């Protein structure tokens, strides 16, 4: 099995360790057909991209597409859900600058209501640490993700289930209806085996993302594939896997 493309990679423009060129060169080395640079959205308080840098990123990618014609290089973003209504931390103007939009739930996002956001992050962190599920918090996490999927044109929902308990089946159904891919993240443990099984009961399609934070991790997918095989998910439902 080969990975056709990797649409979840980070660079020094957020908190990755390599440059855009470094990621592209690794993708070429691994014979990917396409790669996307998807640094964190500007709403993250510690490592979100700076809006004034987006044009520079776009120019770098334009230049690299000319230098490496054997691979299609895209500029994307891993946007953050910042409000209970499903709002993301990118504007309509921002969206026009990206080829692909990923989105997910992360700590370090405080949006319009910093106190409430902080309490939700704390609750999710403690739940994840202890393994104790708080029903109302799980419902809130699920609701806000579904709203984000419905409100925005999201290509890929990143590592659903990570950083907060959710009802995966409900999210998968919303993604299927919105034609949003659910990511099986190679770096995080999500989707887990059980989550893949639950999500696969819907019509949702999946994608593997490396979530590479260093160039050598670009195009890596074997951790995800192990969970896919354990879940019995047909690889035909994963859009970027090719069976030789």
Total domains in the fold of the chain? 1
Q: Which residues span the domain enclosing 165? A: 2-242
Measured CA to CA, the distance from residue 2 to residue 4 in angstroms comes to 6
pLDDT in tens, 130-176: 888 889 889 999 999 999 999 999 999 999 998 889 999 999 999 99
CA angle 178, 213, 87 (to 5 degrees): 35
Q: CATH code at 119?
A: 3.20.20.140
CA 10, CA 77: separation in Å to the nearest integer? Answer: 9
pLDDT tens by residue, 179-204: 999 999 999 889 999 999 999 999 99
Q: Note the pLDDT tens digit of each residue in 83-112.
A: 778 899 999 999 999 999 999 988 767 767
């Amino acid at each position: 099995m080969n990975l056709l493309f990797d649409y979840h990679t980070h660079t020094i423009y957020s908190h990755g360790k390599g440059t855009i060129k470094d990621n592209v060169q690794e993708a070429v080395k691994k014979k990917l057909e396409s790669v996307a640079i998807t640094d964190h959205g500007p709403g993250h308080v510690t490592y979100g991209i700076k809006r004034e840098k987006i044009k520079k990123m776009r120019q770098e990618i334009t230049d690299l597409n000319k230098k490496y014609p054997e691979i299609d290089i895209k500029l994307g973003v891993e946007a953050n859900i910042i409000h209970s209504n499903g709002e993301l931390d990118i504007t309509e103007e921002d969206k026009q600058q990206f080829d692909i939009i990923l989105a997910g739930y992360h700590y370090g996002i405080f949006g319009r209501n910093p106190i409430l956001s902080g309490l939700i992050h704390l609750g999710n962190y403690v739940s994840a640490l202890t393994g104790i599920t708080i029903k109302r918090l799980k419902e809130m996490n699920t609701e806000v993700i579904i709203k984000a999927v419905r409100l925005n044109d999201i290509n890929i929902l990143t590592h659903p289930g990570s950083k907060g308990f959710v009802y995966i089946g409900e999210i998968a159904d919303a993604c299927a209806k919105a034609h949003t891919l659910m990511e099986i993240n190679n770096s995080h443990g999500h989707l887990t085996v059980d989550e893949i099984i639950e999500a696969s009961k819907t019509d949702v399609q999946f994608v593997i993302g490396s979530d590479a934070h260093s160039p050598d991790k670009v195009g890596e997918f074997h951790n995800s594939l192990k969970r896919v095989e354990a879940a019995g998910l047909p690889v035909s439902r994963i859009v970027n896997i090719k069976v030789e």
